[in-house]
A and B are shown apart, each in its own frame.
Chain A
């Protein structure tokens, strides 16, 4: 960052984030809504993510040590907290957990080398070239969605000729760097470039993430929150979730939209819609 840039953008750099109407005049703020009532826990999103983002399959042994590299994982909940499941025969509740792209991200402030920072369109970026593998960010992430390359996976995960399946738009990460969900930034950049050439903003539905694209029940909605007419912005508004608030005031307590660990003041970019269960039946 040059000195002139620092002086020019001093007011926006020094302000506490997020603030009201932060993205009002901006072109993009990428956000997501996940409807847990529609999620069937089929893992299609995870599979799509593995294919899109060159995620290595680490194998049974590494998986048992918790070294799996799934940027989006399906969490299973059988009961609330420590209590026993009320309806074990009805199966688990599922929750797709991915990087929440927090507006005030705990991981960003602890990186000693500035490998992770906030992009102007509201993403929490991770630059592999800068990462030295201190793993502070992973330790400070309340969602535990940052994954560390403990081993040199590429040769093992994609033996010849499987390297042909790799996505050329995404770097193959090597040993010793941290990685995380990017909201499929390679697709976003491509869509933004195309839109800029045509002199417009990216339209709603023009670009989506691999997980949202693969979801058979359309439980995941992805879009631009800075665009009032986008589906995501409408859903956020309908659920009365405000990006810059850590406590949402809702007019109706039956409203399902919530953000995970809001009280930690991370201001996530993903709204989950609570699952409805018929407790009488």
Chain B
């Protein structure tokens, strides 16, 4: 009898595991560039950051969230190839003045780095291969400054809705076919016109 109970228990637990696996549409931390059947939304590898930075609190627009423009911290996106990770003094510029959250564990960590005079070793989440030339400036200038689309949408084309995440996760494929699928669409040239054009379709624009 005891053996039977054990067998049943094993079967039950196996069933639970299987159903849990089936309910999860994609596996977190799957291989780089893996895609679900439905589209390009498999999550990239889990990157553990030194501080679990809550993008939600800073960039989110719901009540209680700050709704800061992405480019307040990622300053170089509008004028450079790379968007840039903010320096520690950018964090401190605000957090020195915010007394209410000073004893939260993440902020304590932040102050530790500040006192040690060490930069926070953030890790790259959206890491393109070395043979790819990607320019943030052109995309931001086109869609944010010329077409006046909302910033969270513009950044979200490639980065997903980071404003609803804590630490950023890769939610788009960032593969060549995925880039090209957007470059082939007709985009308005600016906010005041109906004229459209495509993204560059030339190998050497992106391949080094």
Query: How far is B137's CA from A197's CA once the two chains are assembled, in angstroms?
Result: 8
Query: How far is B138's CA from A171's CA once the two chains are assembled, in angstroms?
Result: 22
Q: Which of B24-32, B87-95, B115-123, B200-208 contacts A (4 or more CB under 8 A)?
A: B200-208
Distance to closest chain A CB from B86 (angstroms)? 22
Query: How far is B202's CA from A1's CA once the two chains are assembled, in angstroms?
Result: 10
**Is there contact, CB below 8 Å, between B133 and A129?**
no
Query: How far is B133's CA from A171's CA once the two chains are assembled, in angstroms?
Result: 10
Task: Indicate which residue in B133, B198, B204 contacts A119 across the interface (CB closer than 8 Å).
Answer: B204
Judged by a CB distance under 8 angstroms, whether A132 is at the interface is no
Residues of A within 8 Å of B141, CB to CB, are: 196-197
Q: Which of A68-76, A120-128, A154-162, A218-226 contacts B (4 or more CB under 8 A)?
A: A120-128
Interface string of A180-224 (1 = CB under 8 A from B): 001001100100010011000000000000000000000000000
Query: What's the dominant secondary structure at chain A's contact region?
Result: loop
Task: Indicate which residue in B184, B201, B203, B208 contacts A186 across the interface (CB closer than 8 Å).
Answer: B208
Distance to closest chain B CB from A180 (angstroms)? 12
Residues of A within 8 Å of B204, CB to CB, are: 119, 123, 125, 127, 182, 185, 189
Residues of B within 8 Å of A127, CB to CB, are: 203-204, 207
Q: A5-B201, A127-B203 are in contact. Are A170 and B208 (CB under 8 A)?
A: yes
Interface size, chain B (Cβ < 8 Å): 16
Residues of B within 8 Å of A5, CB to CB, are: 184, 198, 201
Task: Indicate which residue in A4, A119, A171 contacts B202 across the interface (CB closer than 8 Å).
Answer: A119
Interface string of B134-152 (1 = CB under 8 A from A): 0101100100000000000
Interface size, chain A (Cβ < 8 Å): 23
Q: Compute the total of residue contacts between A and B using a CB distance below 8 Å.
A: 44
Distance to closest chain A CB from B80 (angstroms)? 10
Judged by a CB distance under 8 angstroms, whether A2 is at the interface is yes
Residues of B within 8 Å of A185, CB to CB, are: 204
Query: How far is B200's CA from A125's CA once the two chains are assembled, in angstroms?
Result: 15
Judged by a CB distance under 8 angstroms, whether B157 is at the interface is no
Residues of A within 8 Å of B205, CB to CB, are: 189
**Is there contact, CB below 8 Å, between A193 and B203?**
no
**Is there contact, CB below 8 Å, between B203 and A169?**
no
With A119-B202, A127-B203 already in contact, 8 other A-B pairs whose C-beta atoms are closer than 8 Å: A120-B202, A128-B131, A129-B131, A129-B207, A169-B133, A171-B130, A193-B138, A197-B138
A residues neighboring B (CB under 8 Å): 1-2, 4-5, 117, 119-121, 123, 125, 127-129, 169-171, 182, 185-186, 189, 193, 196-197
